[in-house]
Chains A and B, each alone.
Chain A
Amino acid sequence: MLGKLDWSAIPLDQPIPLIAGAVVLVAILGVLGWVVVKGHLPYLWHEWITSVDHKRIGVMYILLASVMLLRGGSDAIMMRIQQAVAYQSQGYLPPEHYNQIFSAHGTIMIFFVAMPFVIGLMNLIVPLQLGVRDVAFPTLNSVGFWLTATGALLVNLSLVIGEFARTGWLAFPPLSELSYSPGVGVDYYAWSLQISGVGTLVAGINLVTTVLKLRTKGMNYLRMPMFCWTTLASNLLIVAAFPILTATLAMLLLDRYLGFHFFTNEAGGNVMMFMNLIWAWGHPEVYILVLPAFGIFSEVVSTFSGKALFGYRSMVLATMAICVISFMVWLHHFFTMGAGPDVNAIFGIASMIIAVPTGVKIYNWLFTMYGGRIRFATPMLWAVGFMVTFIIGGLTGVLVAVPPADFMLHNSMFLVAHFHNVIIGGVLFGAFAGFEYWFPKAFGFRLDERWGKLAFWFTFLGFYVTFVPLYVAGMLGMTRRMQHYDVAAWRPWMLVAAAGMAVLTIGVICQIMQLVVSIRNREALRDRTGDPWDGRSLEWATSSPPPVFNFAFDPDVRGEDAYWDMKAHAQQQSLEHDLPEYHDIEMPRNSPTGFVCAFFATIMGFALIWHIWWMVILGGIGAVATFVVFAWRDHDEYVIPAGEVAAIDRVNIEERRNLVSMAGAV
């Protein structure tokens, strides 16, 4: 009746997951209870859960990523403490639990923190920068978000029901095959990634179509803000790479569920095929994450230097070059696995070549700052911190791209330090920069600068104190994923890294404090103009937060830095235009399709993990039926009357006129 599921799935003998699970459960029930008692449930349902507004969906993506960042961060703290104490002892985490923690840490940080964070920012900002009312497929956008949330839910369910994979974040066979991992851990891993992978693919298709087909009038390709270009490149990579992940995990699942022989040791299966397939997805994946971050830095550096981006076209070219070359370097993840010197040489050279366009970008940012009037607001701090940190990460990357060096450093702590160096220093710093930069746009008030700067400095220093020791430990021969060790020379570095983790934790607390303080002082921090940073692109041309329709009129773009030009023009003309004639606006109607579909997907995923076949069928039918019902509806749009549009837009124009006249007075 319930497949493999019985009471033994609850880890009653392990206090850590039980307590963690209980705390999370209490927190969720507490929030739910508060929502119900306060009567916020209808608001939540109508304005957020069923919303197909790209801005709302973007915010929900970022919220999901932030919550998961705390979960993945807790895993990181546990690992650092374990390696600090497990010198010539077992530490406090038993091996099978430690293995689950590093697997969950990697899986969560990549798939449920970094991915939703950048997809959320792209969702929130790209339609605004392109001057359009929504993404190409608003309802599918909601489906994509909720399927991502389903994946995150399943991963976290494994904490208290059953177990998570002990195989590392990419579940290499043969270890991940049924004979060596008979439990449900790998199934939790694979099904949550399959489900959230569908969500990611939907988001990718949506954003590619939005950028290529929905730009406003006059928004030629070479007038798009840099963030739109990097979004395009990143989502092209999603469309081209995520199907590889889907196929690879499908093969692994077929091996595990139906006794196929793709990657088994017997009957002719080929383990190296898994390595090639997973990294053919895995390497583009790191560029999927970091390209949007590059876009964010381009916007931030240009805005806070008060200058147009230096070398715009070389930036576009570099972005698209990275997009293409990222598919030609995957083998550098397994130089040591017998490809031979010729193949290794080719992939080593390709890996070094991809550093060239990245270097072009760094120089472009530096030259943008050169001669500019730089304001060191929090987003700009993250951008400068990124440049310093990412260069170090990039250089160690070029080092391990040299096959002979890689033979020494493969799977060592040096590698761990390298990829944290680029992912934290690149993606996470970028996500934080974007968060600080666009928060006023999303919510209508700025974030507290004092707490923001504290958060930056603690995170920045904490990063170095944590990860420089890992570089050293790697040089001293320490391999990754060690539950305990006996080498005295590594111990001090592990202790320093643990101290660094404490500093990083303070950074996270500052970030939370910043949010709390800013929400409390929101009236004082209110952004009435819609343009708190003296911005250059179209998202600043509308109010903060933007009305549901984004723009009362389709903006007409005449050059790069569209909004900067509009402001310059408006100052000359003193905004003397008559009030224009407003028209009705059609907007897509809200739809529970995404939420309901994800509900059934959760049931189906859970049932697949535990082999509860009747429930699989139930969930599958439910998910398909949801779509048929959605296809059946007669009205998918509603009309905002011209009068309402005018009322909303006039307030915005009035605030903006004040801004312009004040600027003129100075």
Chain B
Amino acid sequence: MSMTATAGRAHADPHHIGVVIEHPGPAPKRIVTAYGFWVFLLSDIVMFSCFFAAYAVLVDQTAGGPRGSEIFEQRNVAIETVCLLLSSFTCGMAGIAADVRNRFWFYLGMAVTCLLGLIFLVIEFREFADLVARGYGPSRSAFLTAFFSLVGCHGLHVSAGVLWLLTMMAQVFAKGFRADILRRMMCFALFWHALDIIWVGVFSVVYLLGSGV
């Protein structure tokens, strides 16, 4: 059955400007996948925004415990930030390498990204361990609760990202640059860059604003 309708083309030109824009049909898979992943990232950012809001509400509730300025070490945070920003660059390099099907540069870019991510995680973990050892764990005060949750939530995302990165390398190693694997690689890159953007928020709201007071 030929599925054609004939109601005239009046409605394809809703504003009567003489330009008829017909919807061309379903988008290609690459677009659909990336679009869906963008929508997921937006939802993830909404979740982070709740933790940011909670931090803003609870930042002054120190309950006799330390304030941010007493526990933040700017040198560590600077190194963390450099690691993440550089890793975004190397992740971009890996993405380009995947697009041109260059295995060497792909593995190199991903390996460096992984390494920088791990350095970030080690520094963050040591910061957390140090605070807990000094008695400033998340149960000490509502401020520390919010701090550990917000920064820790980002850290968990980075950890998940590192695991995903390793499976991406394994997939390329085993299957090559197949179309579906390239689509996943694109999603991974979006995820990694989004974590960077959230880190910029964490860096500004938590560490920069916090250490000034």
Contact = CB atoms under 8 A, between A and B. Distances in A.
Interface of A: 131-132, 136-137, 201, 204-206, 208-209, 212-223, 239-244, 246-248, 251, 254, 258-262, 264, 266-270, 273, 277, 541, 551-563, 565-566, 568-569, 575, 577, 580, 624, 628, 631-632, 634, 636, 649, 652-653, 656
A268 B8 contact: no
Contacts, number: 196
A128 B174 CA distance: 38
A215 B25 contact: yes
Interface string B138-158: 111111011011000000000
Contacts of A218: 12, 22-23, 25
Nearest to B168: A631
A127 B4 CA distance: 18
A558 B8 contact: yes
A206 B37 CA distance: 10
A547 to B, nearest CB: 13
A262 B26 CA distance: 45
B3 A556 contact: yes
Contacts of A563: 5
A623 to B, nearest CB: 13
Contacts of B142: 261-262, 264, 267-270
A212 B143 CA distance: 41
A624 to B, nearest CB: 8
Given A206-B36, A246-B47, A268-B63, 8 more contacts: A132-B26, A205-B36, A218-B12, A239-B39, A262-B58, A561-B7, A569-B5, A624-B163
A552 B57 contact: no
A208 B46 CA distance: 16
A258 B43 contact: no
A52 to B, nearest CB: 15
Contacts of B42: 239-240
Contacts of B143: 268
A261 B144 CA distance: 9
A560 B5 CA distance: 10
Which 10 residue pairs are nearest across A and B when measured between Cβ atoms?
A268-B61, A559-B7, A268-B142, A247-B50, A243-B47, A565-B5, A259-B139, A555-B3, A217-B25, A209-B36
27 contacts: A132-B26, A204-B43, A206-B36, A208-B39, A212-B35, A213-B26, A213-B31, A215-B26, A217-B24, A218-B22, A259-B139, A261-B142, A267-B61, A267-B145, A273-B54, A273-B58, A553-B2, A554-B3, A559-B7, A559-B11, A569-B4, A569-B5, A575-B1, A577-B1, A631-B171, A649-B1, A653-B1
Contact of A243 (B24, B46, B145): B46
A269 B139 contact: no
A42 B50 CA distance: 45
A216 B25 contact: yes
A265 to B, nearest CB: 11
Interface in B1-42: 1-12, 14, 21-27, 31-32, 35-36, 39-40, 42
A264 B58 CA distance: 12
A54 to B, nearest CB: 14
A173 to B, nearest CB: 13
Nearest to A260: B145
Contacts of A201: 40, 43
B62 interface: yes
A240 B24 contact: no
Contact of A214 (B27, B61, B63): B27
Contact of A213 (B21, B27, B148, B175): B27
Nearest to B65: A267
A556 B9 CA distance: 12
B51 interface: yes
A273 B57 contact: yes
B76 interface: no
Contacts of A223: 11
Contacts of A628: 167
A580 B36 contact: no
A247 B146 CA distance: 12
Given A209-B39, A260-B149, A631-B167, A559 B61 contact: no
Nearest to A240: B46
Contact of B10 (A268, A559, A562): A559
A3 B27 CA distance: 50
Most chain A CB neighbours (cut-off 10 Å) among B10, B32, B148: B32
Nearest to B22: A218
Contacts of B24: 217
B39 A205 contact: yes
B52 to A, nearest CB: 10
Contacts of A217: 22-25
